[in-house]
Amino acid sequence: MNSTPLSDIRHLTPDEIELWAEGLLPAARDVHIGECAACRTTAERERKLFRELAHLTRFAPEFGFVERVMAKVKIPAPSGPHFRSDPDA
């Protein structure tokens, strides 16, 4: 066993694990995942969840899809010829 004491041996915070799942964790902290089985297990689980979530949002467009469509669809205002505000013009 080659156990070199690392300067940064703190376990990863939930935020750091999220960064790792996104591939944005700084290399210095990434080393810890390689060394720490507990963090690796948590991180792998987080990444799996992250991927499932990404799939879920892809296959469930109703999250915000309706809002996006409604933002584009403008309900016509009642401004037809029957609603002239100035009949004397």
CA 89 to chain CA centroid, Å, is 56
For the chain, first and last CA: distance in Å? 94
Least distance to Zn ion, CB of residue 38, Å: 5
Q: Are 63 and 57 in contact (CB under 8 A)?
A: yes
**10 or 48: CB nearest Zn ion:** 10
Pull the structure tokens for residue 56: 């879920």
User: Where does this chain touch Zn ion (CB under 5 A) — which range of 21-29, 34-42, 44-52, 75-83?
Assistant: 34-42
11 binds Zn ion (CB under 5 A): yes
Residues that bind Zn ion (CB under 5 A): 11, 36, 39
